[in-house]
Structure formats: structure tokens, C-alpha cells
Amino acid sequence: MYSRRRYSRHTARPLTAHSDDTPSKPTRWRLPCSLSAKFEGSFAYYTVKDRMPQILTKVIDTVHRNKNKFLEAHGEEGIEAEKKALSFFSKLRNEMQTNKPILPLTDEQPDTQIWNQYLDYQKTLVGSDEEPSWFRSPWLYVECYLYRRIQEGMLLSPPISEYDVFRDVKNESFFQSQQAVVALCAHLQELKGKTNSLSSDDVRGEIYKLLQVSLWGNKCDLSISGGQDNSQRSSVLSSLDDFREFILVDDMNSLWGVLSKNRDGNAESRTRVDIVLDNAGFELVTDLVMADAMLSLNLATEVHFHGKVMPWFVSDTTKHDFDWTVQQCTAVNNKWMSKCGQSWKENLKKGRWVYHQHLFWTLPHEFCTMAEVAPDLYTELQKSDLVLFKGDLNYRKLTGDRKWDFTAPFSQALRSFHPAPLCSIRTLKADVQVGLQAGVGERLMAAEVDWMTSGKYGVIQFSPVV
């Protein structure tokens, strides 16, 4: 039925001579298998079985709840579109819950063909009597596919196609964490007021604080909580010391090694930091605060943000979320927040901050395929002095979402993905972790069953260019 030829990992094209999978480049270690719901009882299994249908049910409720809005905006056509979207999502939920084969996308978007080619590639991985399916295929693939199908459902339902089914929960989570946001903005403004009097050690201490705030901000995603409110209500800053023991890999000194070069360099030296964003809401604010501090403390001269082109994993940041957040901060009746909002607007206007989007971030591909699938993005990241990958999903894509040994080196799990020095800042919400000291994973495993998925633990894990 399907050809047994060896295929490129992402496009289902036969492998070229340049691929790192070719027999001419033998690997001395075995590539671990992908996490998948086929492993009953695993977190992947539980996610596909319970959490993904739960998220889809919330999407259905949201679209239904907004019926009147669609009517007001588009008249009867809006109501027809709502019905169409609902029936699409109900069918999708049924496909997922009854483990139907993965279907090709039917919309006509710039990424449609890539997704369908990836499905062809997935077909080459299963036996000839099998088809890629929700409970059998790699978890990373099917979970990304769910969000792309939700997008398909909306795209096929004009005139409500532009509606972001997760916008309400994203905005709500921003408002819920307002107190924590104010505390963070006040901290930043105070810091900016004293930058000239800080010693190098002080600067190092301050940026370490904000890196940790950005790390723990990643606890607040709405996909792990099945779309339930998961916002930060208290100031994280005061809890950093208590949380320190939960950072399983702490490579902040290596980050300092990269960032302090800018401070030590001459006035013309340029340092570019890229942040591959994760969640909107409180986490995004922690990232903006960290990015602002990097400029103010003279650790970077430009920060480039990378966001999603479509609603993704419930709370991920789109361009709209990014602009909305900056605007909210500017407009709010709080002097610390509005000061932050104003200087962030200024940064964007002056080009010290640059926002990028690329459809690669909403593909199911492991990052080791980026150079081949999205060479333009890879080239862009190569211009960076440091790329920070926020969040759990980015970690899964960095490591391929595979059953690595806990002690496998990070650089090995990256499988030649080295556009620039990079660092993952992530709380653990999926059962993949590399680069631990011997015995640490086993000790945690024995003590806390859910240590890899509860978000209690985190890593700030660095890899230089190799």
C-alpha cells in the first residue's frame, strides 16, 4: 500500500544526501521511540483520552456561547457558520475518541500541504495493515494536529473564521493575574531606576531573578489545566528562594556567560536575544519584563520575539495576544503597569524589540527538522546570540518528545539543532527530560509519581553551539 522507501522526516519526500538520517552518517546510539498514547497509562495516553476531548468540549461550549455575537456581527450567516463549526468539532471529537485514522486537512492554507505530507510520512512509520491514528501515532503529532484541526474547523466556517476560540480564556487569565503583574511591573520600574548604581554582581543577581520568574510563569498555561483558570495570583518574586530546589537543571551561569559579553563589549557591540514565546497571560508578561531588563541592564541590544500564527495549545501567544497585552498594560489605571506598557510600545517602535511569526512553530515537526523544513527561520535564528525557548511544548519539540534516558546529553537530544546558543526555560509538564545528573530522575520517580507532569519542577537548560 505505502512505499517502504526511506523518507524525509517532514515532507515525505525521499531523503536527500544531506539528511542526518542517511546511512552514510551512522549514529552510535539508538534513537528512542516517540511518546505516544499507545503506551497505556502514560501521560500521553491520559492526555489523548481525557484532556484533549475536554479541551475540544470547551471549544464547542465557547463557540456556542458566542452565538449571539456571531449573529450581531454577521446576521443569519453568522448563525449558519456557528452551526457548521459545531458540527465539525463534534465530528472531530468523535474521531478522536474512537481512535479513527488521522485525516488529511481540507483547507487551503500555506501549511496545508506540509501537514498532509507529514501525514504521508507518518504512514511510512506504521505497519502496512495500520493507519496513523489518535491513540497509535506519536503524541506530539496528534496533539499538534488537534489544534490544527480546530483551526481548520474555523477556516471552513466563514464568516467567523477569524474568531480565536481561546481568546476569552487567555484574556481572563491575564486579568486574573493582575496583582502579580502589578508586582512584577513595579519591580522592573524600580530596577530601571537604579541601573547605573548596580555592580556587575548585582546585575547578574537581577537577571537571574527575572529568568526564574519567567520560568515559573510557565506554570500558568491553560492547556495543562484543560482550559481551567490557572493564573498566577501572588507575586512570584517573593517565592524564588523557596522554588530554587525545584530547578533540576540550572544553567544560568552559562546564560550569564553569553549575556555579560554585551556589558563588557564596546558601545558599538550588538547582542541579539531571541525569545520563542509560549503562553499569553502572566507568562507573557514575565517574558516582556525579562526582555525589558535585558535591554535596560545592557545585556542585550535587541530582543526578537517569536509567536504563533494561529490559536495554539489553548494559551499560546499570537500576534493579537502580544499587541493586546502591551496595549492593556499601557491603558490600565496603574502607574507601574502603564509605565511598562509605554516603554514596551517604544521598544517596538524603535526596533529594539521585533515581533516575528512563522508557521513552523505551529507544525508538528521536531526542531531538528527546522533547517530543512523552514530554512528561512533557521537562518533567522542563526543571527541570534542566544535563543530562549519558553515552555514545555518547545522542550518536547527540541528533544523530539522521545523516551530519552534522563542522563542523555541535551545536545544529543537536540539532534543537530544548533542555530545559535540556546536555552530551554520550562516547567515539566510532559514525561520527557534529558541532561539530569545520574540518579536524580530515578530518585524523583520513586518519590513523586507525577514529578514530570505537575509543573512543580523546572529547568533552565543551556546548549552552546556545537
Ligand X SMILES: O=P(O)(O)OC[C@H]1O[C@](O)(CO)[C@@H](O)[C@@H]1O
166 binds, among ligand X, Mn ion, none (CB under 5 to 8 A by kind): none
Give the one residue of 230, 279, 399, 433 binding ligand X; rule: CB under 6 A: 279
For the chain, the first-to-last Cα distance in angstroms comes to 41
313 interacts with Mn ion by CB under 5 A: yes
Give the one residue of 122, 133, 157, 218 binding ligand X; rule: CB under 6 A: 218
Reported as half-sphere exposure (CB side, CA atoms, 13 A), residue 126 has a value of 21
* Cβ proximity to Mn ion, 12 vs 165, nearer residue: 165
What does the block give as the cell for 83? Answer: 452551526
396 interacts with ligand X by CB under 6 A: yes
Q: Is the dihedral of CA 104, 278, 381, 22 positive or negative?
A: negative
Cα–Cα distances (Å) from 254 to 86, 90, 364, 460, in that order, read 49, 48, 30, 10
Contacting range for ligand X; rule: CB under 6 A; set: 30-38, 173-181, 217-225, 256-264: 217-225
Which residues, 6+ apart, have CB-to-CB distance to 127 below 8 Å? none
The DSSP element (H or E) to which 396 belongs, if any, is: helix 392-399
**Shortest separation between residue 392's beta carbon and Mn ion, angstroms:** 7
**Shortest separation between residue 453's beta carbon and ligand X, angstroms:** 7
What does the block give as the cell for 464? Answer: 552552546
279 interacts with Mn ion by CB under 5 A: yes
278 interacts with Mn ion by CB under 5 A: yes
* Cβ proximity to ligand X, 307 vs 391, nearer residue: 391
Q: Helix 282-296 to helix 319-331 angle, to the nearest 10 degrees?
A: 80
Binding mask 198-227 for Mn ion (x = CB under 5 A): -----------------------x------
**Shortest separation between residue 457's beta carbon and ligand X, angstroms:** 13
**How many other C-beta atoms are found inside a 10 Å radius of the C-beta of residue 27?**
10
313 interacts with ligand X by CB under 6 A: yes
Between CA 329 and CA 178 the distance in angstroms is 10
217 binds, among Mn ion, ligand X, none (CB under 5 to 8 A by kind): none
Count of residues near Mn ion by CB under 5 A: 5
* Cβ proximity to ligand X, 78 vs 435, nearer residue: 435
Q: Is the dihedral of CA 346, 350, 353, 357 positive or negative?
A: positive
Cα–Cα distances (Å) from 206 to 152, 372, 373, 448, in that order, read 44, 38, 38, 32
**Shortest separation between residue 277's beta carbon and ligand X, angstroms:** 10
The dihedrals phi and psi of 388, each to the nearest 5 degrees, come to -100, 125
Helix (H, G, I), strand (E, B) or coil at 420: coil
206 interacts with ligand X by CB under 6 A: no
224 binds, among ligand X, Mn ion, none (CB under 5 to 8 A by kind): ligand X
What does the block give as the cell for 356? Answer: 516575528
* Cβ proximity to Mn ion, 145 vs 313, nearer residue: 313
Q: Which residues bind ligand X (CB under 6 A)?
A: 47, 51, 143, 218, 221, 223-224, 278-279, 313, 391-393, 396, 429-430
Q: Which residues bind Mn ion (CB under 5 A)?
A: 221, 278-279, 313, 316
